[in-house]
Structure formats: structure tokens, C-alpha cells
Amino acid sequence: MNREPNNPIRLGMVGGGADAFIGAVHRTAARLDGRFTLVAGALSSTPEKALRSAEAIGLSRAYGSWQEMLDQERQLPEDERIEAVSIVTPNHVHYEVALAFVQAGFHVITDKPMVTSLTEADSLVAAVEDAGVVFGVTYNYTGYPMVRQAREMVRRGELGEVRKVIAEYHQGWLASDIEAEGVKQAEWRTDPKRSGVAGAMGDIGSHAENLISTVTGLGLAEVAADLTTFVPGRALDDDASVLLRFEGGARGALLVSQVEVGEENGLSLRIYGTQGGLVWRQEQPNRLEFKSNDAPLKVFTRGGPGLHEAAVDAARIPPGHPEGFHEAFANVYAGVADAIRTGRGDHPTVHDGRRGVAFIETVVASSRSAAKWTPFPTALT
Amino acid sequence: MNREPNNPIRLGMVGGGADAFIGAVHRTAARLDGRFTLVAGALSSTPEKALRSAEAIGLSRAYGSWQEMLDQERQLPEDERIEAVSIVTPNHVHYEVALAFVQAGFHVITDKPMVTSLTEADSLVAAVEDAGVVFGVTYNYTGYPMVRQAREMVRRGELGEVRKVIAEYHQGWLASDIEAEGVKQAEWRTDPKRSGVAGAMGDIGSHAENLISTVTGLGLAEVAADLTTFVPGRALDDDASVLLRFEGGARGALLVSQVEVGEENGLSLRIYGTQGGLVWRQEQPNRLEFKSNDAPLKVFTRGGPGLHEAAVDAARIPPGHPEGFHEAFANVYAGVADAIRTGRGDHPTVHDGRRGVAFIETVVASSRSAAKWTPFPTALT
Amino acid sequence: MNREPNNPIRLGMVGGGADAFIGAVHRTAARLDGRFTLVAGALSSTPEKALRSAEAIGLSRAYGSWQEMLDQERQLPEDERIEAVSIVTPNHVHYEVALAFVQAGFHVITDKPMVTSLTEADSLVAAVEDAGVVFGVTYNYTGYPMVRQAREMVRRGELGEVRKVIAEYHQGWLASDIEAEGVKQAEWRTDPKRSGVAGAMGDIGSHAENLISTVTGLGLAEVAADLTTFVPGRALDDDASVLLRFEGGARGALLVSQVEVGEENGLSLRIYGTQGGLVWRQEQPNRLEFKSNDAPLKVFTRGGPGLHEAAVDAARIPPGHPEGFHEAFANVYAGVADAIRTGRGDHPTVHDGRRGVAFIETVVASSRSAAKWTPFPTALT
Amino acid sequence: MNREPNNPIRLGMVGGGADAFIGAVHRTAARLDGRFTLVAGALSSTPEKALRSAEAIGLSRAYGSWQEMLDQERQLPEDERIEAVSIVTPNHVHYEVALAFVQAGFHVITDKPMVTSLTEADSLVAAVEDAGVVFGVTYNYTGYPMVRQAREMVRRGELGEVRKVIAEYHQGWLASDIEAEGVKQAEWRTDPKRSGVAGAMGDIGSHAENLISTVTGLGLAEVAADLTTFVPGRALDDDASVLLRFEGGARGALLVSQVEVGEENGLSLRIYGTQGGLVWRQEQPNRLEFKSNDAPLKVFTRGGPGLHEAAVDAARIPPGHPEGFHEAFANVYAGVADAIRTGRGDHPTVHDGRRGVAFIETVVASSRSAAKWTPFPTALT
């Protein structure tokens, strides 16, 4: 992959102003490989703050609202106006903005969960197919090179037939009522109006779902979920455990929490087939363990020997020189850039986004049900 | 704890002959601290093999059957006959032997699961209470010093109120049909006649249950279980995932498998309270992690600074000199020895054994149920 | 630290063309926080290749040689011409280029080792002091947040008086004669004309020296070195072990190799004082262990609780979201940017560069000496 | 290996009374596999304490001194008297006791360092050869199964030609003057009269030497040592770093300390050859890493797949069931038992003991020398 091409993609951004952690991450990811150049933005929901945020980061074309950005950019000459837009807002805003830009023919990158209902998701899928634009969802964790190595190993049958999948995502930062103390990151995530029907499950469980689907390729058949709210007064789940059954007979479990004190960002995936098993942990992302009953444990390392091409391509520097979160995030951006420039790219699509929304809805329904198993909508698997 | 007293307890053994892995473990555990001296045994279910096994290990009083041992030992002078008996047979034999020795006034140590039905368990509890003997169950993993440290920390409130419990037990050795290839350890474990109603859940899930109960002290309220048999032709579960709800509102998950290829003996426990979290992994048993949102991760080590007395007492050698499986097992034996000699000992009792049997029955019932939640018998929590 | 200011520094680059791993790293580091914008470059030693490399990355002002870049840039208007230059060439070129740009009043960033003799180093120090420019050396490993945390902990006396320092740098990629197979990275590093008097010691030992000096602040008193060349036909050392004695009585050891097969980039530092010890390992850079005899091991994490301000400032994203090599490298660039814009920045200076060159010379002299101890030039400690 | 034979070896013990940590370890090791039965002892240097200690552990034949034990045991019938004696005293006593028992035809096990001078060592070697008895030295760390795996891998050339050896042994418990506070373990270790010419080097450096020699089989050519005493008033070294040169051109380093606060028992060995590297760490003794430039890291586990017979034989229980210090120690005892019963056993011999003493003397001489390199006595390599 040529990481420093001479024609970067002109990017606009919606949301991601001054205080937003994830805005800076998106900009860093876009900038890291020189594949994008950020030229325009409506960085906040209030015009004044949007313009102030744009000024602070030296953004050339600052807009007071996304509608304004859309209107004005489309009137610029083709070789000046933005080619793509990143949507980096609370969840409830994604749909409207994404739809408008897609329909106007811009490529779109949006944060996850893509939208807040399956209805919206279906509508967006249709719009993307109509418009023929590139649509990426920043399920950034599947951008890690060793996740791509895992995906390739499963695809090639190196694990045999997959029997068991365990995905986990452990955090502790929401263990107390910090949304009442003015922590903005906590405020919108715990507010059903801005987050949607799920809390922890939507915020981080959705990443785990994408990790499972991307790596195993298995279709989900049914789930048995227990969503819990531990912090008094909170409206959405902050902890969840889910039993999973996949089409074809594989079984699994998904453990998610944002109230496990001391846990930082403990996303992990374990997959066991008839012939081999894989273990990957996000907090040590440059390693991938391969286990079997017949040979010593093998540890693949990013950039090291024995990797498939998709994993080799996703690394920038030699083994032992740690890459991390930013590079994985940049790999999603790079995949979108490839798709825009060449028609092919390795990145989560609008279909991944739609399946993620269906997953959240199904898990929430299961948690409310007295029946053990709630089926996953079959059209999506 | 005086580990090398001058009056070791005279021990008999039922089962544990030549080929039995666990028989040698029990003998090593009994011998390790010099608290027991093995003087008699009926080491196999067939007289000839029993005598041959006894000869091989230089056992002085060898019997052809447990009934013979019981009859003859009770006729020996009080200062010669065995004081306690270890039952180290497949599960289906435990009840009959244990009951007979208890009723004859001998102290009993038995492997887990204690018996194969709650009815048997109730009967045994009553017999033990009548006889006033010491009864230990070798839930050996709760014998680890750092597990005792965890138990003390929870009891003293160092985690705050417990919210979340995750127990796991991962093995891979039953990933293929090795019971058909003459592997004895696999044969009886996968045979309902000898193992009881559960496979992996009874064999290793029961250890995980005891770990949860011992460390957290929480009563179980209800479970949602999914037991699976992956290896074609096998009669019992070889994989299980269970959602747990505890009295008082804590939540949990239990993940168990014997078909996760490459996994060796991956028992672990994670507990999160309002103030702190604990992580313990059996494969690195000399460490215990304490996590919180307010301070750096603390790692307690066996024999190291900052431990409670129960953990200090359970260690034999300084930190950095690894103790392992045998020493933890010996701690259960030492607890029973303490109880016999002093009336007080730190070891799993007949009540732990009974709760373990109830757990297995409840999980099996839940797995067969279409209802999400199956209640745990309240009298046992 | 404002990481996305609205007035990025205009940067030129010397060296770092198409095939050069380290050129892309420098550009990524410069770009990552938006603190620099690369506007000019003489990316190779041959004009044609220099221009082709510039074209490939879309560089606006491409020059055929560094002399040409120097001549033409100084004639541009002040608000257009480059403000700083990065020198990313083999070692033997650093001195001439750095001196010329310094004397012309440009700020300079150069790779390490800064120059190839102490004489050159002294001359460069004088020139920098005369010109009053900012001069940074990319000892990138001291840019890691947890290294800065270690430095602060030592400075504040949290370890007591330092007694023992162990630095290691283990690689394996030069275990065979790959310079004969056309591997460019190996070619110049093993060529005395381009690398200077030392091989592994200059290439990676110099990083370890900077890590020791930066974190402990100790002055080196004398060394006993054993430099070895394992690969037949190689002219420079590919392995080295050195005993260290510091002023004030602390002792240490430095272990360096590029022929330890399978080792990737195993830089580490351990420091023990009278009250506490620190362990940091580059391959897991987001952790820092603090040890003592009186309390359980503490593990600090980047972004986590309990850090000093210098470590907090050096992190971009929350704990558990791994940062790595690029971010540490970018922290050196950010420190230089701070120094340029505000007069104060946290980065290795020309004095660090000079001490590093003296270290290499002293170690090489010691290795050739029959005397056990070779003194370190006292003026430099 | 039959670990529970029917004819245990009758053992006597010299030293190892009530307060002695290492006495209990030896007894546990002797007892663990049922290969020895402790029947006699002179457990302390004062008769009264010796008898009290014997009473406390229920020892049948208690003697007030080792001379008394020697006299009286040799008068017992052959099938009653001890067959072997364990010497578990401070170092300065080893020689006299060992020589007397050897000359009387008893097999001997002694702690390390074997004796306190090379002259004594030579004399003991001669006596052992004359008497034809089995003589074991409890370099217990080479009893670990994964150390034996490492030894076999080197012997079979799986690493290619060995180039580099790094041995380390880090402890922190002597970081302050605890010998002045009545800590018995510290008192004799820091007393030249009882310990010999070296402190940390003799106590733990000797283990590291044995680990290097046993695993690599390399002869030592010359050393450059820096022994330091950090704690004021202490007479012997408490910290040491040594450069190593082996016959044939391999290089190495040995790092030893007992003042690195917070370190527990950090013995490790790294070996790199032309084709592969091995890493073993005592605090995680059930793992052995194999590294190469051509394939992912392989992690061998005790009891797991891919091991050589010597490693398989040295394990008692399946992989994932941790064995530790006691079992490794018991493997030395088991090797001596094999040698006594069958004429062949895997254990450190009087020659290992002699080489260890020579190593200590050479390192001490080097530390006092102004010459960089001090040769190792060639007859011993």
C-alpha cells in the first residue's frame, strides 16, 4: 500500500470539535498516512463553537453547520470541494447527515454505531447503493494488522471448522455517575436521546460484534442477553453478557462492561476451531496467538515472519516497533481512501454498519424477553 | 501453620491406582507437608489391580476392595488403624464409599463433584452431621494462597460491593474423540454412568463454581445456561456458557470448555466491585491483580508484601519461588489435617460439595429449558 | 499541549527518500499532530532520485541536493521559506548538513548518532550556541510517555538514591550477512564509511545511552566494554556488552545486540534505587512497573491514574488505547515545535547528541583496551 | 520415571533445623515423590537445638551432631542405616561433613556452593572418585523440566552454533542492612566466615553459572567482573555484573544482585545461536520461548506438545497445572535416587560443584584485577 501518495483526498468533518476526544482521533487517523487532507468542517452543533473549533485547528473552510457545509461545498469547483466527509457526532445525528451527504454524491465515513435503528440502516443502505459512493464505518479495531491476520487464517481454514467464539470488551470508566459531574464523554453515551436504545452494548459491544463478524465470517442465529444497569439513575445498560449461537452450530459468548473498575480498554477475541485457536487482545495489539493440541503455542507479531499479505499490508514499521490505536484507525481511513481512488479497499462498509445496528436491537430485545433465545434477523447474517 | 508436625494422620485411599493421574496427585498432596502418612489402600475397583498398584507404591496395608479395607481397618487398634480416607474414584462411586466411611466414624476426603445427585448430597450432609467427622472435598483450586487472599479482600470490603463476576475454565484436550482411542481419563469423564449428568460442567465447571462461591460468598439466584456437545457421538456436554445472577443484584458469566484446542488449564476468576477489581489466573497462580479507577494496578505476589494472614499461611516458600498445583492441593489436605487435629481448618466442606452438586443440576436443567432463567435452589445459597 | 495548532511549522527534509524506512517515520511523526507541514525536501543523495521521491509523496518544493535547498529556501520570503530542517541521512552526512543549516539560522532536527566524532560534536555545539537555533536529536525512545514518567519519578526521589541501572537493546535482524544480499538498511549500518566507528553500538546502543542519561540524570564515570563482530566479514560490531560505573557510585550494565535471532526491538531499562525500582520495556511501552520491598508491584499505564504532568502531557488518547513508536517519535517533534514556537520544549538537544557521540567513542576505546576501566570524558557528564 | 517406588532411600540430614528455610525445602523435595524417607538427622550445630528440631518434625533417629550421626549410623545394620545424607548447612561446613560421609561410603547431597575453595573442591572430587559414591549438588534450578528441554535443544543443535548467553539473577531482599536486624538468612550469607569469599555471587550467581554450563555445555574462557557492595558495612558483594567469554568465541553477560528492591527471585537465561534463541525465566518456569528470524515465536510448555524426553520425564502433571520450585528441587533428589538405585541419574555432580567453586574464585579475582580479562582455569571447562 502506498501510504504517502501525491494526491490526498479532500475531507470535510461534521462534529469533532474542541472537547471531543474522537474528533482528534479521526483527524489524526486521516492525517497519519497523508491519504487525506482536512479542508472543511462543521465541527460542532452550535455555529459559534463550530467556528471557534475550526479556528483552533487552523481549518481553512469553517462552517457553522453541516447543512451549510453541504450547500457551499457542492457549489465549489470539482477539484476544490471536499470529496468525502467524516461524521464524528453523537449517534443520533449520524443518520440525517450521512443520508444527506450520500445523496449529494459525497463519500462518507461515519462513526459507529452507524445509525440508531434498523429502519434507518435499511434506508441508508439503499441510498448508498443508489448513489454509488464509498461508505465506511469506523469500526477501527478491525483495522489492526493482527486482526486482519486472524481473519485471513480463519478464511483459509487454518483453524479447521470454527466451534467457539468469545469476545469481550471491558472498561471501568463509567463505574460511577460521572455523567452527573459534567464529563461530556459520559453525558451523551448515557443519554438515550443521543445514544439510542443501548448504552455499553451500543458504545463498545458494537465493536465486539464487528470483530466477531469480520474475523469469523459466521452468521449469527440467536442470542440470549442479560443487560444490566449498575449505576443508579442511569437510563441505559452499562454492563452486558450475551450467549451467542451461530448458523452452522458454533457457539459463543460476548461479555461487555463499562463498570469494571480498573479496566481500561479490554477488547479481546478468542476463536477455537477443530484444528486451531486464536487469541487477540487489543491492549497488546501487535501479537496474535495461535494454539493447537499438537504443537507449541505460536505467537505471530505485526511485521514479523509468517503473516498473510493483508496483515503485512496493514503495518507501517518493523516488528518490535509498536503500532497502536491510531494506526489501526488510520487503516480504516486508508481502506476508504483505496476504495475512493481505486474502487477497492479493506474497510467496514454500510452493510457492516447495518448488521451492527441489528445486533444492538436484537440484544436489547433479548434482554427484555423471558424466552431464552431471540433470533437474529436472518437477512442480515 | 506447622507444616511438618510429629504426628502425621494415618490415611487410607480408595481408588487412585497405577494409571490414575489424580491418585498420584492426592498422594503427593498428602505427603508434601508430612501431615499425612498413607498406610492403607484399596486402589482399584478390581482386587488384583488394587493389590498390584499397592505393591508398586510400597503400600503396607493393601486391600482388594474398599469394603474389605473398611471392615479390617475398623478392627485394628485405635492407634494403628487409619484415621481418614481419601476417595479418588470416578464420580459415581463417591457416594456409597463416603457414606460408609462417614457412618463408621472415619474422616473423609473426596474428589469433586462430591456425588452425582442432590438427593445423595443431602443424605451425605446429614450423615456427616450425625457422625461429627471431618469431611473435605478437593476443590483444590481454592487452596491457592492468592485465591485465599482474594477471598479475604472481598470479605473485608476492599472491592466495595461486588457487581460482576466472571469465571472461566478453558481446556482443549477433549477436542476430538479420544475416549474412543482408549484414553482412560477421557473414557470415564464422558460416560454418564460414571460421571453423572454433566461432562465438562461437572468436571471443571464445578471447580469454577466453587471458586466463585468461596471467593465472593455470594448466593446464586438464577442461571441461563447453554451446554453443548461438539464432538460427535459424545453423550455429555464438552462446552458450556452460563449467565449468572446473584442474590443482591450482582451479575456474572461462567465460560467452560474442554474442546478449545491448545488451551491447557485456563481457570480464571475476575471480580469487580464498586471500588476495586481482582483478577486471578490459575496458570500464573502466584499473582493476584487488584485494579481500581483511582490508582495504578497493584500486583500482589504469593509470599510478597501486603497479604492477609490467610494468604501468608498458605505459602511455604518466599516470593519468586513458584508454588503450584501440588501445593494448592496440599493446602486442602492441610486444612483437613488442621480440622482433624485442632477442630478448625480451612478447606471445602460437605456443604461446598452439596452446593456444587446443586449447581450442576441447575445448569443442566437450565440448558434444557426454553425459559431464560432457571432459579437456583434457595436453601443452598 | 495543544496538538493541533493553527500555525504549523514549515519543514524541509534532507534524505529519507523512497526506500528509506526512517524517512517515512520522520514524516509521519512530523504530520501526526499537525505541528509541522512538510513543504520542501532534498530526499536523496542523487538529484534524480531526490526529485522522483519528492514527486511520489507530493512534495511541493523538491530539490536535487541539500545545498540547493539551503540556497533557494533562504531566498524565499520569511513567511514562506522553511523554518526547520530534518536530517534523515546515513550518519556520515549529518555533520556537514546540520552545520550549514544551523549557521544559516534554520532550526535543525537530526537523526542519531548526531555526528561521527566528538570533534564534530564540539563544533556543532558551538555553532548551535552561536546561532541560537533550536536543535533536536531524534532519540525517539525517550519520547514515550512512560519514559517521561520514569524520569520524573527518579528526579523527585521516588526511588531513593539510584544504585543500579540495566539497559538493554536486543535485535536479531543482522544475524546473517544480509548486507551482502542488498538489504539497504543493513548496507549503510555495517559500513564504517557511512556509520562511523561503531555498528550496533552506534545504531542502537546510542539509544540505550540516551535512555539511561535522560531518565537517571547520572553522569557516567567509566566503562568496561566488549564489542564483538559475529557475522564473518562484517567490519563493525554487531554485539556489545558493557559494564558501567556512574559518578556517585551507581553501577550498571548495557547489553546490545543485533544478532540475537528472533529478537525484534527489545529496548528496556531497569533502575533500582534504595527505595524503589522501575522497569520499562519498549515493546510494551504503555506500562511502567514500580517495585519496592514494602508494597505490591505497581503498574502505571499511559493515560492512567497516578502520573506526573510530563507523562500526562505526552499522551494523546485514554489508557488502554495503545500508543506506540510513531507517537513517541512525534513527541520529539512536538518538543522541538514547542521550543521553536514558545522557547521551551521537551526534546533531546545538541548536548544529548554530543554526549551520545562521546559514549560511542569511549566504548569503542574500552573494547580495544586491555585495562578494565576506560574513563568517560568528564566534561560531558 | 517411576516416582513412587516401593523401596525409598533412607536419608539422613545435617543442618536444616527449625528456622532454616532451606531445610524444609530439602525435606519436602526428598518426600515429594516418595523416593526418600528421612530417618535420621543432626539438624543443628548445637546438640540441644538439633534434638529439639528433630522432635518437632517427628524424626525417629535424632543426633546431637553430625559426627555422632556418622558414628552411630555406620554401626547400624545395612538395611537400617541411612544410605545417603543431605548437607543443608551454611557453606563453610559443607566440606568437612561431605568428606567424612563420602569417605565412610555414604552417598551425599549437598547444597551449593559445594565448598568454599577450589582446593577443597579438588580434594572432594578425589574422595568421591575413590569412594565410588553418588554425589549430588542441589543446583535446584537446573531441575526444572523446561531447563532440561533447553539443554536438549542446544545439544541437538536446534539453535545452530551458540553465540550469546545472558544469565541474570535479581533479588532485592538484601537492599538494606537486615543482617543487623537478626534475620538469620541474611546473617550467614553476608558473613565471610560462613559464606566464603563471595556474597551474592556465591549465593545466587553460582546458580546462574550452573544454569549456563548445564544448558549450553560451553567452557568458560575468561571473565571481566565488577563486584559491588552497596549496603554500608557489609563485608561481601551484594551486586555483580560480569562479562563472559567462552571457548570457541561465544560471548555472554551475567547480572546478579540482591539489592534490587522489589525483585523476588528473577533468575533467567537467554541463549542465542546462529539459527535460534531460547528464553527461560524462573518465575514462570513452565514456559520456554524459542525464537528465530524465520518463524513466529514458539512457546513450549511443561507437559505440552513437542518436548524432548528429558523434559517429559521431569514433569509430573499435565500442562497448565503449574509445577514450581519444589518439583524442580525434587527432580534433583530424584536424579540422585536414580543414580543410587540404577547407577544413572540426571543431577548436578561433584564436578558441577567444583566448576561452580572455580567460577566464584575467578570472578572474585577478576573484580580485584585492573586487567580487563581474567582467565578461567582451563582444566575445568
Rounded Cα–Cα distance for residues C327 and B211 (Å): 42
A4 near C CB under 8 A: yes
Query: Which of residues 36 through 75 in chain C touch A, CB cutoff 8 A?
Result: 55-58
**CA-closest candidate to residue C278, choices C142, C148, C155, C159:** C159
Q: Which of residues 147-206 of A touch B (CB under 8 A)?
A: 163-164, 166, 172-173, 175-176
Chain centre to alpha carbon of residue A235? 23
* Closest to A194 (Cα-Cα) out of A251, A236, A160, A239: A236
Smallest Cα distance from B334 to chain A, Å: 35
Q: Mind listing the pLDDT tens digit for each residue in B211-234?
A: 999 999 999 999 999 999 999 999
C111 and C40 in one domain?
yes
* ipTM value: 0.96
Q: Are residues B187 and B161 in the same domain?
A: yes
Residue C169 maps to a domain:
yes
Eight-state DSSP code of residue D371: B
CATH number at residue C18: 3.40.50.720
Contact C292 D371 (CB under 8 A): no
**Pick among B2, B13, B28 to test the D interface (most D CBs inside 10 A):** B28
- SS3 string, chain B, reads CCCCCCCCEEEEEEECCCCCHHHHHHHHHHHHCCCEEEEEEECCCCHHHHHHHHHHCCCCEECCCHHHHHHHHHHCCCCCCCCEEEEECCHHHHHHHHHHHHHCCCEEEECCCCCCCHHHHHHHHHHHHHHCCCEEECCHHHHCHHHHHHHHHHHCCCCCCEEEEEEEEECCCCCCCHHHHCCHHHHHHCCHHHHCCCCHHHHHHHHHHHHHHHHHCCCEEEEEEEEECCCCCCCCCCEEEEEEEECCCCEEEEEEECCCCCCCCEEEEEEEECCCEEEEECCCCCEEEEECCCCCEEEEECCCCCCCHHHHHCCCCCCCCCCCHHHHHHHHHHHHHHHHHHCCCCCCCHHHHHHHHHHHHHHHHHHHCCECCEECCHHHC
pLDDT band at B302 (very low <50, low <70, confident <90, very high): very high
Provide the domain count of chain D. Answer: 1
**Based on the domain organization, do B147 and B293 belong to the same domain?**
yes
Residue contact C371–D370, C-beta within 8 A? yes
Report pTM: 0.97
Q: CB neighbours (10 Å) of residue A248?
A: 11
Residue tagged 559414591 (cell numbers): D133
Query: If we measure between CA atoms, which residue out of C140, D19, A379 comes closest to residue B4?
Result: D19
Pick out chain D residues at pLDDT < 50: 381
Whether residues B261 and B162 share a domain: the answer is yes
Enclosing domain of residue A26: 9-140
Query: Widest CA span of chain D, in angstroms?
Result: 64
Contact D27, B4 (CB under 8 A): yes
pLDDT at C379: 62
B276 shares its domain with B173: yes
Instruction: List chain C residues with CB under 8 Å of D239.
Output: 163-164, 251
- Confirm whether B85 is domain-assigned: yes
Whole-number pLDDT of residue C44:
92
The CATH code of the domain that includes D235 is 3.30.360.10
My answer on whether C208 and C296 are in the same domain is yes
D126, D115 Cβ separation under 8 angstroms: no
Q: How many CA atoms lie within 13 A of B243 on its CB side?
A: 26
Do C67 and C113 lie in one domain? The reply is: yes
Same domain, B148 and B135: no
Is D181 exposed, middle or buried (CB count within 10 Å of its CB: 0-12, 13-18, 19+)?
exposed
Cα Rg for chain D, rounded, in angstroms? 20
**Cis status of the peptide bond prior to C113, with omega within 30 of 0:** yes
Mutate which: A278, A286, A294, A297, vs D, most D CBs within 10 A: A297
Instruction: Enumerate residues 6+ apart whose C-beta is below 8 A from D299.
Output: A296, A297, A298, A299, D287, D288, D289, D290
Could you say which residues of chain A have pLDDT below 50? 381
Q: How far is B226 from chain A (nearest CA, A)?
A: 8
Q: What is the mean pLDDT of chain B?
A: 96
Confidence of residue C6 (pLDDT cuts 50, 70, 90): confident
Q: Would you say residue C342 has pLDDT above 90?
A: yes
How far C312 CA sits from the closest chain B CA (Å)? Answer: 14
Q: Could C58 and A319 be called an inter-chain contact, meaning their C-beta atoms sit closer than 8 Å? A: no
pLDDT band at C1 (very low <50, low <70, confident <90, very high): low
- State whether residue C318 sits within 8 Å of chain B by CB: no
> Do A243 and B243 lie within an 8 Å CB cutoff?
yes
- Give the SS3 label for residue D47: helix
Task: Measure CB to CB from residue C284 to each of A7, A34, A284 and give the nearest one.
Answer: A284
Count residue pairs from A and C with Cβ separation < 8 A. 132
D276 touches chain C (CB under 8 A): yes
Q: Does B1 have pLDDT greater than 60?
A: no
Q: Which residues of B touch C297 (CB under 8 A)?
A: 298-299, 301
Residues C135 and C160 grouped into a single domain: no
> Per-residue pLDDT tens for D216-245?
999 999 999 999 999 999 999 999 999 999
Does B6 contact chain A (CB < 8 Å)? no
| pLDDT in the model for residue B5 | 77
Q: With respect to residue D73, please indicate whether it lies within any of the assigned structural domains.
A: no
Same domain? For B73 and B201 the reply is: no
Q: Taking 60 as the threshold, does the pLDDT of residue C336 lie above it?
A: yes
The torsion region of residue B15 among left (phi > 0), alpha (psi -120 to 50) and beta comes to: left
Amino acid at A281: R
Helix (H, G, I), strand (E, B) or coil at C173: coil
Cα C278 from Cα A225, distance rounded (Å): 44
Q: Are D168 and D211 in contact (CB under 8 A)?
A: no
Are both B41 and B175 inside the same structural domain? no
Find cell 439466584 and name the residue: B221
User: pLDDT for D159-213, tens place per residue?
Assistant: 999 999 999 999 999 999 999 998 988 999 999 999 999 999 999 999 999 999 9
Would the pLDDT of C80 be above 80? Answer: yes
3-state class of D95 per DSSP?
helix
Query: Per-residue pLDDT for C231 more than 90?
Result: yes
Whether residue C306 and residue B296 make contact (CB cut-off 8 A), yes or no, is yes
Mapping DSSP onto H, E and C, the string for chain A reads CCCCCCCCEEEEEEECCCCCHHHHHHHHHHHHCCCEEEEEEECCCCHHHHHHHHHHCCCCEECCCHHHHHHHHHHCCCCCCCCEEEEECCHHHHHHHHHHHHHCCCEEEECCCCCCCHHHHHHHHHHHHHHCCCEEECCHHHHCHHHHHHHHHHHCCCCCCEEEEEEEEECCCCCCCHHHHCCHHHHHHCCHHHHCCCCHHHHHHHHHHHHHHHHHCCCEEEEEEEEECCCCCCCCCCEEEEEEEECCCCEEEEEEECCCCCCCCEEEEEEEECCCEEEEECCCCCEEEEECCCCCEEEEECCCCCCCHHHHHCCCCCCCCCCCHHHHHHHHHHHHHHHHHHCCCCCCCHHHHHHHHHHHHHHHHHHHCCECCEECCHHHC
Classify the phi-psi angles of C182: left when phi > 0, otherwise alpha if psi is within -120 to 50, otherwise beta. Answer: left
Residue C206: all three cell numbers together: 546510542
C40 - beta bridge partners?
C12, C61
- Choose, out of B149, B286, B297, B301, the residue to mutate when testing the contact with C (most C CBs < 10 Å): B297
**CA distances, A29 to each of A22, A35, A335, D142 (Å):** 10, 9, 12, 50
Distances in Å between the Cα of C35 and the Cα atoms of C253, C288, C332, D12 are 37, 28, 11, 75
DSSP assignment, residue D270?
E
SS3 D232: coil
- Using the beta-carbon criterion (under 8 Å), do C306 and B299 form an inter-chain contact? no
Quickly list DSSP for C205-238: IHHHHHHHHHHH-PPEEEEEEEEE--STT-SS-S
Per-residue confidence (pLDDT) for residue B18, from 0 to 100: 73
**With 70 as the cut, is the pLDDT of residue C380 above it?**
no
How sure is the predictor about C5, in pLDDT bands with cuts at 50, 70 and 90?
Answer: confident
State how far the Cα of D121 lies from the Cα of D360, in Å rounded to an integer: 12
Q: Enter the C-alpha cell of residue D109.
A: 547431597
For residue A83, the model assigns a pLDDT of: 98
Structure-model confidence comparison of residues B176 and C3, the more confident one: B176
Q: Testing the interface with C: which of A170, A184, A325 to mutate, by most C Cβ within 10 A?
A: A325
Same-domain pairing of B92 and B228? no
For cell 533500582, what's the residue?
C272
A24, A284, A323 ranked by CB distance to C4: nearest:
A24
Residue A239 lies in a domain: yes
Residues 6+ apart with CB under 8 A from C179: C186, C187, C189, C190, C191, C234
Instruction: Round to whole Å and give the CA distance between A354 and A371.
Output: 25
> Is residue B20 domain-resident?
yes
Using the beta-carbon criterion (under 8 Å), do B317 and D301 form an inter-chain contact? Answer: no
Residue A262 touches chain B, beta carbons under 8 Å: yes
Residue B145 has pLDDT above 60, yes or no: yes
Q: Write out the three cell numbers for C177.
A: 550477512
- Residue C208: inside a domain: yes
Integer Cα distance of C346 and C330 in angstroms: 12
Q: How many residues does chain B have?
A: 381
pLDDT of C59 over the 80 cut: yes
Q: How far is B305 from chain C (nearest CA, A)?
A: 5
